[in-house]
Amino acid sequence: MANDPALHRQPAREPGDKRAAILDAALALFAERGFHGTAVPLVAARAGVGAGTMYRYFPSKEALVNALYRHWKQVITATMLESFPLDAEPRALFAEGWRRLSAFATAHPRAFVFLELHHHAPYLDEESRAADARVLLPLRAFVEQAQRTGAVRDDPPELLMALVFGAVVGVVRAAEAGHLPVSREDALARAEARVWEAIRR
């Protein structure tokens, strides 16, 4: 969909933008190999820049992964929260939240895997953790409101959020590995109703 917030939040990049090339290379490598399996020279080689150029933009691998994490957290936060219909009923709100998260995962599968792999990492700095809270706090508030109306189960909000996010992660990973007999989009659409049944009261 042309107006889907998941599809239009990436800033335009100039040809030859070395910082952007480094971030793109790092995203691919961190998603494929994890933080500890990704060496800085490997990122530089994938980006087509020298190690010295890389260190001018990012003084360490920790600085690089945090910059990348914050960038994609900003994108997913905008995707999830921009113009969200907060006055809708809980079931409709859940469907819209699921649709937005699924759209992000479909449009940016590497970024989705990257965020999932790194969101509890000890090398994330305070600024990155604050970026994480900016998307989690409003989602937690939605769960609490749905609990007050009796729409969803009275479990810890963090548990219900983990169940929902984990379901999307599982479908995306299975689709990326070719383990599903249907498309990722179809699987995510089917899973939405199943997950709602799991958390609703």
Write down the domain spans for the chain: 61-199
- pLDDT score, position 16: 63
> Has domain 61-199 been given CATH number 3.30.1330.10?
no
Token pair listed for 11: 């800033």
Nearest Cα residue to 163 out of 173, 155, 172, 151: 155
pLDDT in tens, the chain (201 residues): 434 544 444 544 444 699 999 999 999 999 889 999 999 999 999 999 998 999 999 999 999 999 999 999 999 999 999 998 888 999 999 999 999 999 999 899 889 989 988 888 999 999 999 999 988 998 999 999 999 999 999 999 999 999 999 999 999 889 888 999 999 889 999 999 999 999 999
Q: Residue 99: CB partners within 8 Å, gap ≥ 6?
A: 192
Alpha-carbon separation of residue 75 from 100, 108, 140 (angstroms): 12, 10, 19
CA atoms of 132 and 127, how far apart (whole Å)? 9
Give the number of other Cβ atoms within 10 Å of residue 151's Cβ: 18
